[in-house]
Amino acid sequence: MSTQPALVSENVQAIENLEGGPARGGSFRGRRIGGDSWTTTFLLALCSLTVLIPLYVTIAMAFKTTEQAVEGSAFSLPAPFSIDGFREAWSLTDFPRAFTISLLVTAGTVFGTIILAAFASYAISRNWERRLFRYSFFYLLAAMFIPFPVLALAQIRLTGLAGLDNPAGVTLLHIMFQLSFSVLLFTAFLRSIPMELEESARIDGASTWQTFWHLIFPLLAPMSATVGIFAFLASWNDFMMPSLITSDPSLQTLPVVQSIFQTQFSNNYNVSFASYLMAMAPAIIVYIFTQRWVMAGVTQGAVKG
């Protein structure tokens, strides 16, 4: 638990850095703890409780037996420690299958988003003076302001017609909805890469394609990580889109499967919480392991020549 506050506060820092762009990176780190920042720290710690308490309850409940879950206080520690909840949830929801589908959808989304957004951003940022590219950037940005539910009905029809009322369609739509924000991040980062690097590569004999793969894409790595994590979180945690698009319940992703079996958990809180925890775990684990890397990437800022 001790790592949690740090995690939350770094999250805030990450967002600040993202908004400030790479050029501002590191200014936060340089600030001394003392004076005003104690107030800030205290407020952040308070805010973090809104996340941490439910998380604690979830974990505590998941490891309780059914009797304990019903009788005891939600905040009490599990005694005895039981994994029956997990066992039951595993078989009840056919966890491996839902997990695999979720994994495929998410992997497809992450991969597709990074590649497509990097392509688009490179093309846009290097052809900025051309109207077509500039407008396509604004077009992509505009998509950020249109929420999925508004388009849901039309998209359900369209994916149905195209035979995409399955996880593949969900993946495709996830990529589309991630594209706006990812292109925004990538283009900002691309502007900080000196043109001389590309000119040098061109003189060294590289075609545009080779320049992209040998030079630009590796340099984008820190931002790809950020984009990838956003795509991962959005895709893994999404409930609405798969539930509406995918027609076959046996092909549903984890969050939807959870909800389908909600009723069957009845008042077996330990089973339902264990099930939530299993669904949540990958996202948390991925974040814990990658956030340090993302932070390093974001704060590293412009590439020095």
List residues near another protein by CB under 8 A: 194, 196-197, 199-207, 210, 214-215, 218-219, 221, 303-305
> What does the angle CA 202 – CA 117 – CA 155 come to, to the nearest 5 degrees?
150
Smallest distance from another protein to CB 3, Å: 30
Nearer to another protein by Cβ, of 36 and 129: the residue is 129
Answer whether 267's CB lies under 8 Å from 214's CB: no
The span from the CA of 284 to the CA of 174, in Å, is: 20
Q: Residue 123: which region, alpha, beta or left (left: phi > 0; alpha: psi -120 to 50)?
A: alpha
In which residue are the tokens 């704060």 written? 299
Nearer to another protein by Cβ, of 127 and 200: the residue is 200
Nearer to another protein by Cβ, of 104 and 219: the residue is 219
Nearer to another protein by Cβ, of 19 and 196: the residue is 196
Smallest distance from another protein to CB 200, Å: 4
Smallest distance from another protein to CB 144, Å: 30
Smallest distance from another protein to CB 197, Å: 5
Answer whether 302's CB lies under 8 Å from 22's CB: yes
Nearer to another protein by Cβ, of 157 and 214: the residue is 214
Contacts of 289 (CB under 8 A, 6+ apart): none
Peptide bond into 242 cis (omega under 30): no
Smallest distance from another protein to CB 145, Å: 34
| 167-189 CB burial, b ≥16 within 10 A, e <16 | bbbbbbbbbbbbbbbbbbbbbbb
